[in-house]
Amino acid sequence: MNPKTAKHLSFLLVAALAGSCSTQAPPSGSSIDPTVSTATPTSTILSVSAPAPTTTTNQTRNPTQARREPGEVRREDFGEKWPLTVDAGIVRCQNGAVTFTANGFNYDVNGTAMTKNRGKKIDEIWADNPKVPGLKINISPIIDLGLKLC
């Protein structure tokens, strides 16, 4: 039995148990099939709401909605606040050491990672702040994201 039919039958049963019934079309905007009448009690207003059943279909996934690897970040995620000169990469954390991988290179992002000196210096790809000469764009959102992954 399809879910719509089951919902109609359940509604009819509840309405029949509630007393005398009359038949009327469903309210506009209802997800109930308008070609099927539903019963509602004449002496009592009965409101039944339930989430519509979900079904799985073999739809083609939109390429822009492709599943990302944990820690994957992109310039488009941050807009003008993107702190790096590369367009995307993977943020990782191991024992408090936050690293960023882009274009095949690993960069040490936070102090913990820098003391272990396993990757390149983040300064190589850390963007200058165009509004304040001599300063860099705030990189703490990348560090915070990385620390959440630890």
Q: Are residues 37 and 97 in the same domain?
A: no
Model confidence at 117: pLDDT above 60: yes
Torsion angle (degrees, nearest 10) of CA 70, 68, 142, 118: 60
Q: Are residues 29 and 83 in the same domain?
A: no
Same domain, 37 and 104: no
Give yes or no: residues 80 and 143 share one domain.
yes
Q: Which two tokens stand for residue 138?
A: 């705030």
Q: How far is residue 30 CA from its own chain's centroid?
A: 27
Expressed in percent and rounded to 5, the helix, strand and coil fractions of the chain are 30, 25, 50
**Residue 90 shares a structural domain with residue 135:** yes
Q: Is residue 32 part of a domain?
A: yes
Mind listing the pLDDT tens digit for each residue in 19-70? 433 444 445 554 544 444 444 444 333 333 334 444 434 444 444 446 788 8
Sequence length of the chain is 150
Q: Is residue 14 part of a domain?
A: yes
Predicted local confidence at residue 67, as pLDDT: 76
Distance CA 100, CA 141 (A): 12
pLDDT, residue 69, reads: 85
Residue that has been written with the tokens 């993107």 in this structure: 82
- Given this model, what pLDDT does residue 29 score? 52
Q: pLDDT band at residue 7, thresholds of 50, 70 and 90? A: very low
Q: Which amino acid is at 10?
A: S
What value does the CA radius of gyration of the chain take, rounded to a whole number of Å? 29
Residues 27 and 93 in one domain: no
Q: Are residues 76 and 131 in the same domain?
A: yes
| Structural domain includes residue 60 | no
pLDDT at res. 48: 35
Instruction: Name which residue leads in pLDDT, 26 or 144.
Output: 144
- Per residue in 59-111, pLDDT (tens digit) is 444 444 467 888 999 999 999 999 999 999 999 999 999 999 999 999 999 99
Q: Confirm whether 34 is domain-assigned.
A: yes
Q: What residues form DSSP beta bridges with 83? A: none
Do 33 and 89 lie in a common domain?
A: no
CA distances from 142 to 1, 66, 123 (A): 51, 21, 14
Domain carrying residue 94: 71-148
59 falls within a domain: no
Structural domains counted in the chain: 2
Q: What is the pLDDT of residue 28?
A: 52
Phi then psi for 13, rounded to 5 degrees? -65, -45
- Asked if residue 54 is part of any domain, the answer here is no
Residues paired with residue 90 on neighbouring β-strands, in sequence order: 72, 101
